[in-house]
């Protein structure tokens, strides 16, 4: 637990925020520096084949097999970038033997992490929690997963009596901006299946993700002096309101759950003459996903016809697909994880991801890659925290998966 805690806090303090507006890979120099640190740490630990791939920014390594029999190689993957929330001067706070009451994150600003707002905290009484100081995110997404993978490799090296096949590990950039796995080197990773350690609560096992696309809607208005605007002015502000009103108003993130998809107006900027709207479209069902894209195009066509001019122009681009479409054809990774958790007395919880992971893309590249729990919660904000006790369970789960795989 001490090694796990020390490594997590050391890594969490380092700003590795990715940048959607950057065109480099990785998208920020802070991630480049962190990759070099990882490379140095993994070499010092004695792992094999440690390297940084200059084309995609991934740091990878291997733990050789210690059995003579042929065993399918498996892998574990995490990302080291953090989301678009303040990541400067991260100061993790350690709460030992959590008592189930409010946690004062920041006295000066009276920022409180409360089970009255986040009731899942009550499940963690007696745990050691790591929180923010109320001014930054924590970065447990996904440095918790990264550290758990490293600690599992250390444990296996210290316990050669645990037999295992060849293990590959990889840590990558830019997952939070949806580009991390675009250049993932499947041939170099060379495993039968893998796991992303990028989940949340104890027992989580996810092999079904959204299908995802983004839609950019550009608005073209007509600007004139408001005093002489009658029958001439066309306000892009109003065009934006009109476009969004045509979408199902109950199919938005704040009104959906489980496998229900949504339209999400993530950002917009409008003036009189022009504007832009950024939507993300999500659905677990591929047919419904395609209908959502069609609805965006139909709305634009309808309104353009109404105004007898191209007031709306749409750009659609797919981001990732539901990894279940691949994994359901080879369930070894899921079955192995379920057995490992059962052996450890962990109650498994299979649920669809209301989002995506690098595993969504990697699965479609040829390596079935479900997602496992890490122990974190409230990601991407100042109320983020992680349970050190659940992190330990995640390490144990990795080790047990590896052990069981050598027996198959």
Q: Which amino acids are annotated catalytic?
A: 81, 175
Whether the Cβ atoms of residue 256 and residue 204 lie closer than 8 Å to each other: no
> How many CB atoms are located within 10 Å of the residue 87 CB?
21
Q: Which two tokens stand for residue 193?
A: 């299946």
Omega before 275 within 30 of 0, i.e. cis = no
Burial class for 323, CB neighbours closer than 10 Å (0-12, 13-18, 19+): buried
3-state secondary structure labels for all residues of the chain: CHHHHHHHHHHHCCCCECCCCCCCCCCCHHHHHHHHHHHHHHHHHCCEEEEECCCCCCEEEEECCCCCCCCCCEEEEEECCECCCCCCCCCCEEECCCCCCCEEEECCCCEEECCCCCHHHHHHCCCCEEECCCCCCCCHHHHHHHHHHHHHHHHHHHCCCCCCCCEEEEEECCCCCCCCCCCCCHHHHCCCEEEEECCCCCCEEECCCCEEEEEEEEEECECCCHHHCCCCCECHHHHHHHHHHCCCCCCCHHHCCCCCCEEEEEEEEECCCEEEEEEEEEECCHHHHHHHHHHHHHHHHHHHHHHCCCCEEEEEEEEECCCHHHHCCCCHHHHHHHHHHHHCCCCCEECCCCCCCHHHHHHHCCCCCCEECCCEECCCCCCCEEEHHHHHHHHHHHHHHHHHHCCC
Q: What is the 3-state secondary structure (H, E, C) of 23-39?
A: CCCCCCHHHHHHHHHHH
CA triple 49-51-52, angle to 5 deg: 160
Which candidate, 106, 90, 199, 96, places its Cα nearest to that of 139? Answer: 90
């Amino acid at each position: 637990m001490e090694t796990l805690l020390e490594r997590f806090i050391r890594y969490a303090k380092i700003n590795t925020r990715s940048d959607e507006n950057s065109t480099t890979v990785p998208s920020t120099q802070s991630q480049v520096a962190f990759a070099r640190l990882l490379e140095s740490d993994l070499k010092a630990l004695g792992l094999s084949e440690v390297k940084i791939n200059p084309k995609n920014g991934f740091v990878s390594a291997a733990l050789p097999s210690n059995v003579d029999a042929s065993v399918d190689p498996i892998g574990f993957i995490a990302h080291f970038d953090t989301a678009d929330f303040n990541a400067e001067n991260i100061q993790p706070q350690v709460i030992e033997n959590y008592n189930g009451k409010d946690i004062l994150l920041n006295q000066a600003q009276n920022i409180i992490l409360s089970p009255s707002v986040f009731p899942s905290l009550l499940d963690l009484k007696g745990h050691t929690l790591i929180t923010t100081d109320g001014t930054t995110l924590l970065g447990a997404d996904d440095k918790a997963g990264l550290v758990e993978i490293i600690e599992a490799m250390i444990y296996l090296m210290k316990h050669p009596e645990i037999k295992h096949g060849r293990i590959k590990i990889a840590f990558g950039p830019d997952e939070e901006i949806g580009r991390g796995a675009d250049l993932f080197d499947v041939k170099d990773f060379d495993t039968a299946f893998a796991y992303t350690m990028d989940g949340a609560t104890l027992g989580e096992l996810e092999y079904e993700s959204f299908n995802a696309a983004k839609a950019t809607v550009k608005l073209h208005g007509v600007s004139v002096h408001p005093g002489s605007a009658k029958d001439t002015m066309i306000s892009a502000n109003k065009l934006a309101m009109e476009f969004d009103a045509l979408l199902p108003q109950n199919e938005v993130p704040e009104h959906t759950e489980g496998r229900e998809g949504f339209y999400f107006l993530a950002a917009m900027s409008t003036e009189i003459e022009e504007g832009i709207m950024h939507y993300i479209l999500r659905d677990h069902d591929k047919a419904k996903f395609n209908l959502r894209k069609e609805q965006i195009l139909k709305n634009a066509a309808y309104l353009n016809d109404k105004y007898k001019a191209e007031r709306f122009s749409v750009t659609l681009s797919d981001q990732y697909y539901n990894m279940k479409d691949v994994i359901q054809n080879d369930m070894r990774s899921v079955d192995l994880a379920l057995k490992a958790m059962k052996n450890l007395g962990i109650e498994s919880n299979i649920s669809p991801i209301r989002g995506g992971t690098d595993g969504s893309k990697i699965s479609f590249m040829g390596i079935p890659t479900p997602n496992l729990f890490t122990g974190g919660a409230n990601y991407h904000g100042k109320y983020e925290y992680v349970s050190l006790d659940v992190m330990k369970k995640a390490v144990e789960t990795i080790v047990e998966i590896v052990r069981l795989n050598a027996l198959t």
